[in-house]
């Protein structure tokens, strides 16, 4: 299910306990999934026995930022879970830390 995302949106996985906040969002509609399932805007929509889809196992780690290779999307994991975050079927990777400048 494609949707337009905006920065600050809080998303809840329907496949596991993962929760994320969108930090940077692309302008066009995209298909974002967590654990292979489109996320919900409320934790109340989560089923009692969620299941992660094959190939979308995580884990998602709290406090880590996840980005795509092009840098068009960035999400911050606020609650860890067993599902991986993916954009248009491609799993997002953990964002690398910026190197600090040297102090000669």
Q: What is the pLDDT of residues 8-28, one digit of tens each?
A: 999 999 999 999 999 999 999
How much is the pLDDT for 21? 98
Q: Does residue 103 form part of some domain?
A: no
Number of domains in the chain: 1
Q: Does residue 42 form part of some domain?
A: yes
Domain span holding position 79: 10-94
d(CA 11, CA 34): 9
Q: Does residue 29 form part of some domain?
A: yes
Strands 74-79 and 19-24 come out as antiparallel
Quote the tokens at residue 23.
């930090």
Confidence of residue 69 (pLDDT cuts 50, 70, 90): very high
Q: Does residue 66 form part of some domain?
A: yes
Measured in whole angstroms, the distance separating CA 93 from the mean position of its chain's CA atoms is 10
Q: Does residue 102 form part of some domain?
A: no
Q: Does residue 83 form part of some domain?
A: yes
104 pLDDT more than 90: no
**Section 77-98 average pLDDT:** 94
How much is the pLDDT for 87? 95
pTM: 0.88
């Amino acid at each position: 299910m494609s949707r337009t995302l905006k920065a600050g949106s809080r998303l809840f996985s329907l496949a596991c306990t993962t929760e994320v906040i969108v930090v940077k969002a692309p302008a066009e509609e995209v298909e974002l999934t967590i654990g292979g399932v489109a996320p919900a805007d409320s934790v109340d929509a989560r089923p009692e026995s969620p299941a992660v889809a094959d190939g979308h196992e995580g884990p998602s780690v709290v406090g880590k930022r996840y980005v795509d290779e092009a840098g068009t999307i960035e999400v911050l994991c606020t609650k860890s879970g067993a599902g991986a975050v993916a954009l248009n079927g491609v799993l997002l990777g953990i964002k690398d830390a910026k190197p600090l400048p040297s102090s000669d």
